[in-house]
């Protein structure tokens, strides 16, 4: 397939729209055809932006960790990303995997989707490996626009083709495709050109440890690599919190880095609060939709729940009236979250970023370094015995 005509671009008024391999790239790489096969559906412009960014992310995650990987993309940034590590019992419950026998790939997808379920609503999925039945069974339950991966088992394909009344976007990617090392895009009729960001993120990038604490655990190294690879495909500025092989909070596209750190930290806190006894014991009415349940949990762990009680609408959500999850109780539960790692796509300009990260259980940090206040950032990390590495590499993505 040399080109794919699309219904429209980012918005319905942006026509015509297509994707194709231009002649210059074809001459450089020998790639005349697109690297994808549309098995089902009609993907749109934003779908394909998410698909291609997501595919690169999971491909690099697998290369760095030697584990199957998955990501959940929305509007050209990941809402979640993870590798295939078995789920704890509490994660199985909050990710709603109860009736599926989980494979490593299914675990990766459950983690990627479950990190920030509100943001993942209507996502585009990328998988590093051939989609199997278990992963397709999990995807079938969720509101999603499509999927890209190297292939599908017959059982998985049958399940996925039934989504969205048969219109679900199913794309097969040529995993051996190599793009032109020079990439272009146009803005305001002006062509921008740059070398692709082909920097390989591997364990050696963590060698410049700048804090008094010099020791990364094996899990911290894995999680820091996950954070950096995730950030490589997240709209900048961006910060990513990771625990147990999955992103648990991603702050994307903020002009201020401390706002990235706060946004990602709040998402990480919400992920942890979802595992609290108060949330796990919530008694929902029968037949409540998954999205309504997710929204209700988000309200319950937020500051709005007292208003819900006052308005008397809790009966439309819960069988029994839940007690208020007080601010003090939430703080005590959040304090139990430990061994979280955090990465930043560029330097932290002030120690306040470390202070905020510490509140969400961060014990390991990776960032580029290079701020005139690096000494303040390092001193703040030392105050909490946090181990931190400077990479010397910026990972902006736009």
pLDDT tens for each residue of 272-283 = 999 999 999 999
Helices (H), the chain: 23-29, 45-65, 89-94, 104-114, 133-140, 154-160, 218-232, 257-273, 277-280, 290-301, 305-311, 327-334, 352-359, 374-383
Task: Characterize the bridge pairing of strands 123-127 and 69-74.
Answer: antiparallel
Task: For the chain, state the CA radius of gyration.
Answer: 21
Q: Which pLDDT tens digit goes with each residue over 326-374?
A: 889 999 999 999 999 999 999 999 999 999 999 999 999 999 999 999 9
> Pick the catalytic residue: 214, 218, 289, 398?
398
Q: What is the pLDDT of residue 165?
A: 94
pLDDT, averaged across the chain: 94
Domains 35-173 and 182-273+334-390 belong to one CATH topology: yes
More confident call, 55 vs 325: 55
Q: Is the pLDDT of residue 308 over 70?
A: no
Q: What is the pLDDT of residue 324?
A: 86
Of the CA atoms within 13 Å of residue 238, those in its CB half-sphere come to 26
> Pick the catalytic residue: 47, 62, 74, 397?
74
Q: What is the pLDDT of residue 351?
A: 96
CATH number of 35-173: 3.40.140.20
DSSP designation for 166 = G
- What's the rounded mean pLDDT across residues 289-311? 79
Based on the residue annotation, tell me whether 358 is a catalytic residue of this protein: no
d(CA 222, CA 82): 11
Q: Are 211 and 386 in contact (CB under 8 A)?
A: yes
Domain limits of the chain? 35-173, 182-273+334-390, 277-324
CATH number of 182-273+334-390: 3.40.140.20
> Pick the catalytic residue: 31, 33, 75, 92?
75
Q: Is the pLDDT of residue 166 over 80?
A: yes
> Pick the catalytic residue: 40, 47, 53, 237?
237
Q: Is the pLDDT of residue 134 over 80?
A: yes
Phi and psi (nearest 5°) for 106?
-65, -40
Based on the residue annotation, tell me whether 75 is a catalytic residue of this protein: yes
Would you place residue 288 in the very low, low, confident or very high pLDDT band (cuts 50, 70, 90)?
A: confident
Q: What is the pLDDT of residue 391?
A: 97
Q: Is the pLDDT of residue 306 over 90?
A: no
Q: Which pLDDT tens digit goes with each residue over 61-91?
A: 999 999 999 999 999 999 999 999 999 999 9
Q: Which pLDDT tens digit goes with each residue over 239-259?
A: 999 999 999 999 999 999 999
Based on the residue annotation, tell me whether 283 is a catalytic residue of this protein: no
User: What percent of the chain clears pLDDT 70, i.e. is strictly above it?
Assistant: 97
Q: Is the pLDDT of residue 30 over 80?
A: yes
- What's the rounded mean pLDDT across residues 149-172? 97
Q: Is the pLDDT of residue 46 over 90?
A: yes
């Amino acid at each position: 397939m040399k080109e794919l005509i699309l219904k429209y671009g980012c918005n319905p008024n942006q026509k015509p729209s297509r994707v194709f391999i231009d002649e210059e790239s074809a001459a450089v790489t020998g790639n005349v055809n697109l690297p994808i096969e549309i098995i089902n559906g009609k993907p749109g412009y934003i779908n394909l932006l998410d698909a291609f960014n997501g595919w690169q992310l999971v491909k690099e995650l697998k290369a760095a960790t030697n584990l199957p990987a998955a990501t959940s993309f929305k509007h050209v940034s990941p809402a979640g990303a993870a590798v295939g590590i078995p789920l704890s019992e509490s994660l199985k419950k909050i990710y709603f995997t109860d009736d599926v026998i989980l494979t490593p790939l299914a675990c990766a997808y459950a983690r990627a989707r479950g990190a920030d379920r509100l943001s993942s609503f209507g996502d585009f999925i990328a998988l590093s490996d051939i989609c199997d039945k278990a992963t397709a069974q999990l995807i079938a339950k969720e509101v999603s626009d499509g999927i890209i991966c190297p292939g599908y088992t017959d059982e998985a394909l049958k399940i996925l083709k039934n989504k969205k009344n048969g219109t679900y976007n199913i794309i097969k990617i040529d995993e051996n495709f190599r793009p032109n090392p020079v990439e272009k895009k146009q803005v305001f009729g002006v062509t921008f050109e740059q070398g692709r960001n082909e920097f390989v993120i591997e364990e050696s990038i963590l060698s410049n440890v700048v804090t008094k604490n010099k020791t990364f655990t094996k899990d911290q190294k894995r999680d820091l690599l996950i954070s950096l690879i995730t950030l490589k495909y997240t709209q900048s500025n961006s910060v990513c919190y990771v625990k147990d092989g999955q992103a648990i909070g991603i702050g994307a596209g903020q002009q201020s880095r401390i706002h990235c750190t706060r946004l990602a930290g709040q998402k990480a806190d919400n992920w942890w609060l979802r595992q609290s006894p108060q949330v796990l014991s919530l008694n929902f009415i029968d037949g409540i939709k998954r999205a309504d349940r997710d929204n209700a949990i988000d309200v319950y762990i937020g500051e709005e729940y007292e208003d819900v009680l006052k308005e008397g609408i809790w009966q439309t959500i819960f069988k029994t009236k839940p007690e208020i999850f007080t601010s003090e109780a939430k703080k005590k539960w959040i304090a139990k979250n430990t061994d979280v790692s955090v990465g930043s796509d560029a330097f932290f300009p002030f120690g306040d970023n470390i202070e905020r990260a510490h509140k969400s259980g961060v014990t390991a940090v990776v960032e580029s370094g290079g701020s005139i206040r690096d000494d303040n950032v390092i001193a703040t990390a030392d105050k909490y015995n946090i181990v931190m590495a400077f990479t010397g590499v910026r990972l902006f993505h736009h």
